[in-house]
Amino acid sequence: MFPPAPNPPVKPVPEKFGDKDLIRKSASTITPASPRQVEVAKLIDVSKCIGCKACQAACLEWNNLHEEIGTFNGSYTNPPDLTPASLTLMRFTEWVNPETDNLEWLIRKDGCMHCEDPGCLKACPAPGAIVQYSNGIVDFVHDNCIGCGYCVKGCPFNIPRISKVDNKAYKCTLCSDRIAVGQWPACAKACPTQAIVFGTKDEMKKWADGRITDLKSRGYRNAGLYDPPGVGGTHVMYVLQHADKPEIYAGLPNNPTISPIVEIWKGATKYFGFAVIGFAAVAGVFHHLVAGPNKVSAEDEENAEKLAGGDRP
Which parts of this chain interact with other proteins (CB under 8 A)? 27-28, 125-127, 144-150, 152-153, 158, 162, 167, 259, 261-262, 264-265, 269-270, 272-274, 276-277, 280-281, 284, 287-288, 291-305, 307-309, 311-313
- Sequential DSSP letters for 15-41: -S--GGGEEEETT---PPPSSPPPPEE
Given ligand HEM, other proteins, ligand SF4, none, residue 171, with its beta carbon under 5 to 8 Å by kind, binds ligand SF4
Which string of b and e fits 175-202 if b means at least 16 CB within 10 Å? bbebbbeebbbbbbbbbeebbbbbbebe
Question: Counting contacts by CB under 6 A, is residue 112 touching ligand SF4?
Answer: yes
- Position 275, amino acid: A
Would strands 236-240 and 224-226 be described as parallel, antiparallel, or unpaired?
antiparallel
Helix (H) or strand (E) holding 74: none
Question: Counting contacts by CB under 6 A, is residue 157 touching ligand SF4?
Answer: yes
Question: By CB under 6 A, which span of 58-66, 116-124, 179-187, 275-283 interacts with ligand SF4?
Answer: 116-124
Question: Counting contacts by CB under 6 A, is residue 91 touching ligand SF4?
Answer: no
Q: How far is the CB of 263 from ligand SF4 (least distance, A)?
A: 13
Residue of the chain from 82, 107, 137, 145 that contacts ligand SF4 (CB under 6 A): 145
**Within 117-146, which residues bind ligand HEM (CB under 6 A)?**
125
Helix (H) or strand (E) holding 149: none
Given other proteins, ligand SF4, ligand HEM, none, residue 138, with its beta carbon under 5 to 8 Å by kind, binds ligand SF4
How many residues of this chain bind ligand SF4 (CB under 6 A)?
A: 29
Given ligand SF4, other proteins, ligand HEM, none, residue 264, with its beta carbon under 5 to 8 Å by kind, binds other proteins
Given ligand HEM, ligand SF4, other proteins, none, residue 118, with its beta carbon under 5 to 8 Å by kind, binds ligand SF4
H-type alpha helices, 135-197? 150-154, 176-179, 186-190
How many residues of this chain bind ligand HEM (CB under 6 A)?
A: 2
- Residue (157 or 249) nearer to ligand SF4, CB: 157
**Within 181-220, which residues bind ligand HEM (CB under 6 A)?**
none
Q: Indicate the SS3 state at residue 175.
A: coil
The number of C-alpha atoms within 13 Å of 221 and in the hemisphere containing its C-beta is 3
Closest CA to 16 of 43, 37, 47: 37
How far is the C-alpha of 118 from the C-alpha of 139, rounded, in Å? 10
Q: Indicate the SS3 state at residue 108.
A: strand
Closest CA to 88 of 170, 14, 17, 182: 170
Given ligand SF4, ligand HEM, other proteins, none, residue 140, with its beta carbon under 5 to 8 Å by kind, binds ligand SF4
Contact 56, 111 (CB under 8 A): no
Q: Which residues bind ligand SF4 (CB under 6 A)?
A: 26, 112-115, 118-120, 123-124, 126, 129-130, 138, 140, 145-151, 155, 157, 159-160, 162, 169, 171
